[in-house]
Structure 1
C-alpha cells in the first residue's frame, strides 16, 4: 500500500535520515528519480523527501515499477547472511575443534577479508573470535560432563594449558576449574522481517528473544547470567532450533501460538504476569487494567507494567499485545513501529 498520510511520511523520512533499524519491515522507500526501492537502513545516499514514495510492502513497490536496491537487497529478510558467509559457517560447524584458516577459506573460493568484515559488523567479533568461542563452548560442555581440564584443552585444539586457560577466562569470565558449577546459556542469531534477533537458551528452555538493536541489551545479558549463574556462549540446542523454526512460521503467517519450553528467572509476581501475557489470544489486544482484573489485583496496574517491561522473550511472551486504555500504543522494547507491525500482522492472519 502506498502511504499518503503526510505526518507518517515525515516520520518515515526521519527514520531514513537516521538509518533507524527499528523501522525495518514497517515500510520500504522507493526513489522516483532512480527507480529503486530500499529498506530504511540502506547505506546509499539519502534521497530528497520529494523524490520518495513510501510503501508498506516490498511487493507494492515492485508492482509500481520499482526494482530492488543492489546495496540493501530489500526483498531478502533483513541481514540474511549471504551465501559465502553461510559456507564459511558450514566449514566451522563441520569440526568446531579445528581452526578454519584464511588459506582454507581461499581454497573454498571465499574471501577472508569479506568474511571478517561481515562477522565484525553483524556479530561484533572477528571470524577467528567466533571460532574460538565455539571451541571454548564445546570445551565447557565437556568440563560440565566431568572431563579433565587437560583433556578438554587438547580436544579443543589448544597446544598448551596456559593458552586454553587464558582464552577460556577471557570468554567465560572464570578459569576452567572455577566454571564447572556454572550453567550455559547458548546464544544464536535469527533473521526476521523486522531485523535480526538474538535467541538465548539453557538446557531447560528459551530464556531470551530480543531484537539485536534493543536498548540496554547488554544489561539484560548481565542480569540473565547473574540470575541463572551462567555464562553466555555462542551456539544452539534443541530449544533454540525449535524457537527459530516456530518464529519463522509465525512471521510467515502459519503459526499463531508457540509450543516451547521457557526458562524465565523472575519473581512469583513476574511469572504471574508473564503467564497472563501468554493467555492473550493471537490477533487481539488488552490493557494492564484488564490484566489486573483477571488476576484479582486491581491496584497492581503499575507493577504489571513493570513486570511486562522485564519480559525478555519478545513475541513468544506477547507483551506487544498490551496497549493503553485509550487504545494507543504503549512502550515496547523493540520500538513502537515494530509493535504496530506485529499487531497488524496478527490481525491480518487472524482474519485470514
Structure 2
C-alpha cells in the first residue's frame, strides 16, 4: 500500500544502496527516462528530483512508466506464471503490435485464464497493458509537436481510424481536431495513484482527472465546447506548477494547492466546490453536512450531484465526502483511490 511506504529520503537512500530488503516492496519511476525499476537495479542511479516511488508494479504502469530491461521488475510475476512470461516476451518483441484475444489463442493460451492472471498480478489485462503502452507513445509524439500520422505510427496503429477511435476514447475527440496554438492544453502527469490528465490555459487549471475515469471524455468535450474547439496537447507553465504541488502532496510535504482554478459550473455547484475546499486534509464530511454548511439543508441530493460533477480532482477534494453512515460512496476515480487518498491525508492532521 502506498501509505505504508517510508519517506522519499529513506527510499532514495535504499535505491543508492541497492537495499534488497525493499525488493518487491517498492519501485522507482524515473521521470527523465520513463522507466521504472526495482530499488536493486544495477543501472546508474537517477537524480533524486527525477525519482517517483511506488508500492507496486500496477501503480508504476498506470503512471505511464515502462519496465526496466536491466532489473526486470515484471520478472517475479513472469516466474510465477509461464503464461505471463510468454506474453510479456511477446509484447517486448512486438511493442507496437495491436494484440487481440485471437493472438493470445494462437500462442496456445486461454484468453480468460490470461485475463484473470494479468488482473491478479498487474491490476489490468494483457490487452489493456498493450493498448496503454501504445497510446502513451502516440500521446508523447503529439505532445512534442509531432504530426498525427507520426503519432499513429509511434502508437503502433496501422489504421488511422483505429488510432482516432482509441485516442478519442481517452481525450474525447480525434487527434486531427486538436487545435494548433490552442488556448487550452492537455498533458499527462504521473502520480503514485496513476496517470492524470491536466488541462490548463496560460494561467489556470481547468481539469485534473485520472486518465482511466469513465467520465473523462465527456468532461473534455465540455471544455472543447466552452473553448470553441481550442484544445490541444502540450505543456504550459501551470502544468509545471501543478506537478510540483502534486509531488509535495503525495510526499507528505504539503496539502495546500496554490494553482489558480477555472471552475466551470452553476453558482450552486461552485458554492459546493468552495465548501469542499474548506474541508481540512485528513478530515471527512457527509453530503448532509455540506448541505448544512452552505445553508441548503434539504439539498443533500443536489450536493451529491455537484460533488460528482467536479472536474478538478484532489484540489477540489470531493474524495473527502462520505456517506452519512461513514461508508465510502461513489468516486469517479475509483473507491480504491478514495480510500488511499483518505489514508494518505491522515498524515496532514495536526
Aligned 8 A contact 2:182 2:232 in 1: no
Residue of structure 1 equivalent to 2:336:
337
1:131 aligns with 2:135: no
Deviations 1:30-82 (A, max 9, x none): xxxxxxxxxxxxxxxxxxxxxxxxxx5489xx999573289985764423545
1:227 aligns with 2:231: no
Residue of structure 2 equivalent to 1:67:
23
Instruction: Work out the CA distance in 1 between the residues paired with 2:188 and 2:260.
Output: 18
Instruction: Work out the CA distance in 2 between the residues paired with 1:121 and 1:202.
Output: 26
Instruction: Work out the CA distance in 1 between the residues paired with 2:320 and 2:142.
Output: 40
Residue of structure 1 equivalent to 2:132:
121
1:209 aligned counterpart, secondary structure = strand
2:209 aligned counterpart, secondary structure = strand
1:171 aligns with 2:127: no
Q: Taking structure 1 as reference, are residues 64 and 74 closer, same or farther at Cα in structure 2, changes over 3 Å only?
A: closer
Instruction: Work out the CA distance in 1 between the residues paired with 2:174 and 2:326.
Output: 48
Within 5 A, what are the aligned runs for 1:288-327?
Answer: 288-327=287-326
Instruction: Work out the CA distance in 2 between the residues paired with 1:209 and 1:344.
Output: 21
Q: Taking structure 1 as reference, are residues 277 and 170 closer, same or farther at Cα in structure 2, changes over 3 Å only?
A: closer
Residue of structure 2 equivalent to 1:16:
none
Instruction: Work out the CA distance in 2 between the residues paired with 1:259 and 1:309.
Output: 23
Structure 1, 115-124 or 190-199: larger mean CA deviation: 115-124
Aligned 8 A contact 1:228 1:265 in 2: no
Aligned 8 A contact 2:184 2:199 in 1: yes
Instruction: Work out the CA distance in 2 between the residues paired with 1:190 and 1:130.
Output: 12
Within 5 A, what are the aligned runs for 1:188-267?
Answer: 188-267=187-266
Alpha-carbon distance, 1:303 to partner: 0.7
2:217 aligned counterpart, secondary structure = helix
Structure 1, 248-257 or 113-122: larger mean CA deviation: 113-122
Instruction: Work out the CA distance in 2 between the residues paired with 1:136 and 1:261.
Output: 29
Within 5 A, what are the aligned runs for 1:266-281?
Answer: 266-281=265-280
Q: Taking structure 1 as reference, are residues 268 and 57 closer, same or farther at Cα in structure 2, changes over 3 Å only?
A: same
Alpha-carbon distance, 1:183 to partner: 5.2
Deviations 1:94-124 (A, max 9, x none): xxxxxxxxxxxxxxxxx99869999963461
1:68 aligned counterpart, secondary structure = coil
Q: Taking structure 1 as reference, are residues 74 and 300 closer, same or farther at Cα in structure 2, changes over 3 Å only?
A: farther
TM-score (norm 1): 0.57
Within 5 A, what are the aligned runs for 1:124-163?
Answer: 124=135, 126-127=137-138, 130-132=140-142, 134-135=144-145
2:285 aligned counterpart, secondary structure = coil
Any unmatched runs of 5+ in structure 1? 1-24, 28-55, 85-110, 138-168
Q: Taking structure 1 as reference, are residues 313 and 116 closer, same or farther at Cα in structure 2, changes over 3 Å only?
A: farther
Residues matched between the structures, number: 235
1:187 aligned counterpart, secondary structure = strand
Larger radius of gyration: 1
Alpha-carbon distance, 1:320 to partner: 0.6
Alpha-carbon distance, 1:220 to partner: 1.6
Note the aligned Cα RMSD (angstroms): 3.9
Alpha-carbon distance, 1:270 to partner: 1.1
Alpha-carbon distance, 1:327 to partner: 1.1
1:247 aligned counterpart, secondary structure = helix
Alpha-carbon distance, 1:293 to partner: 1.1
Q: Taking structure 1 as reference, are residues 64 and 123 closer, same or farther at Cα in structure 2, changes over 3 Å only?
A: closer
